Amino acid sequence: MNTLLKPELFTSNAPLINPERLWQSLMDLAQLGATPKGGVCRLALTDLDRQARDLFISWCQGAGCTVTVDAIGNIFARRPGKDPSRPPVMTGSHIDTQPTGGKFDGCFGVMAGLEVIRTLNDLDIETQAPIEVVVWTNEEGSRFAPCMMGSGVFAGKLDLEETLAKQDAQGLRLGDELQRIGYAGGRAVSGHAVGAYFEAHIEQGPILEDQKKTIGVVVGCLGQKWFDLTLSGVEAHAGPTPMSLRKDALVGAAQVVTAVNRIANASQPHACGTVGCLAVYPGSRNVIPGEVSMTIDFRHLHSDKLHAMVADLEEAIEQARVENGLTYTLTPTADFPPLDFATQCVDAVREGARMLEFSHMDIVSGAGHDAIFIAELGPAGMIFVPCEGGISHNEIENAAPDDLAAGCAVLLRAMVGAAL
């Protein structure tokens, strides 16, 4: 292996990576849990997840990496650098999916990292700092809650023992399932220093496609505040009970749903408000609803705006309570502050896109990603590429091979620059 970088390779606009190899890796991985509609169902810590992990490790070992696994099941594949004392330049994502997931969410970030290592091998390049590709455990949270579990434990934001005790819908413990599939590793979970972290990902939204841009330079992530709300009234017969004497929980809930959307629309730009789940009790056509439970999801790029949205929500709930004679409980379930990615990482992504002559734009991530937690340990950034129709968490999720290759090429340049 050469002891010096070949900087001339990284001052041209040649992509360098192998697009066909990247695509084939994604397609091979997608066979594990393939669904009839062309998607993937590979829930965390299932036998299919074990098979995917085994496949990833075999590829990394074939590329000369040293592979370790920590106590929460995160997989670290390290390509050595000339200076082993340097903290690694990291990349990665997840390979678990939603029950009706696609081929690219998370998986692209992992396979792009593997392609970076394979390309460095092809070019006989030795970086100063080590290069590390990570598979984070249970990013989706679709089998075990919360989401972003592996990166959260690694960054010290989630407690290991509490996380290992989490149960799925069948009452199976996460720690037991890690043991069962052979991925309760011996490596310590406390996060080591991070030289830089870059995560490549499909956008999971429609903006890049709408704006006809190939690369999204992710400058930050929306803060998130989630709540469970239960409104309680009195169930009563729909015929004999006059409208003026009703305590209809669903009417109050309808007011709150309307308020969530009004608040988000009034807080633009970078605001989102969603009621994703709503359950009505007792659920009979001739009974006035006595109880309604719902989830509320608020997001914004700025903390002050996010807090103002929550204050407006609380006022709207109180108004619905008074007008409909209800009681309620509002329980916070998640709280992620807004995040600005490190300037040097954002600049590296932007410069890589410019050098490779890919159309690009600054963009904000509306979704949660492992990069949010890893940014607690060192400078971090993200690279977005378009996905068809902005559709993700869906079996028809799709991304163009050329766009995926472009994102990987930008990732290669950003990581090499940070590993000098």
Measure the CA–CA gap between 289 and 272, rounded to whole angstroms: 28
- Residues 240, 245, 247: CA angle, nearest 5 degrees: 100
CATH topology for the 223-336 domain: Alpha-Beta Plaits (3.30.70)
Measure the CA–CA gap between 258 and 235, rounded to whole angstroms: 22
Residue 8 is predicted with a pLDDT of 55
Measure the CA–CA gap between 164 and 180, rounded to whole angstroms: 13
Q: What percent of the chain has pLDDT over 90?
A: 92
Q: Which of 222, 215, 192, 207 is nearest to 382 (CA)?
A: 215
Cα-atom radius of gyration of the chain, to the nearest Å? 23
Measure the CA–CA gap between 371 and 1, rounded to whole angstroms: 31
Beta-carbon contacts of 231 under 8 Å, excluding residues fewer than 6 positions away, are 249, 252, 253, 256, 291, 292, 293, 294, 317, 320, 321, 326, 327, 328
Provide the token pair at 175. 């720690």
Q: Which of 366, 416, 420 is nearest to 91 (CA)?
A: 416
- Partnered with residue 334 across adjacent β-strands are 226
Measure the CA–CA gap between 80 and 129, rounded to whole angstroms: 7
Measure the CA–CA gap between 3 and 345, rounded to whole angstroms: 25
The tens digit of pLDDT for each residue in 172-209 reads 999 999 999 999 999 999 878 999 999 999 999 999 99
CA atoms lying within 13 Å on the CB side of residue 369: 33
| CATH number 3.40.50.300 is the correct assignment for the domain at 7-221+338-418 | no
Mean pLDDT in the chain?
A: 95
Give yes or no for residue 2 having a pLDDT over 50. no
Provide the token pair at 184. 């309760």
Residue 5 is predicted with a pLDDT of 45
The tens digit of pLDDT for each residue in 88-137 reads 999 999 999 999 999 999 999 999 999 999 999 999 999 999 999 999 99
Q: Which of 249, 258, 254 is nearest to 231 (CA)?
A: 249
Describe the crossing of helices 401-418 and 343-355 by its angle, rounded to 10 degrees.
130
| Mean per-residue pLDDT, 279-302 | 97
Measure the CA–CA gap between 315 and 326, rounded to whole angstroms: 14
Residue 125 is predicted with a pLDDT of 93
What stretch(es) of the chain map to CATH 3.30.70.360? 223-336
What stretch(es) of the chain map to CATH 3.40.630.10? 7-221+338-418
The tens digit of pLDDT for each residue in 325-377 reads 999 999 998 888 899 999 999 999 999 999 999 999 999 998 889 999 999 99
Q: What Å distances lie between residue 236 and 12, 297, 328, 358, CA to CA?
A: 73, 30, 18, 62
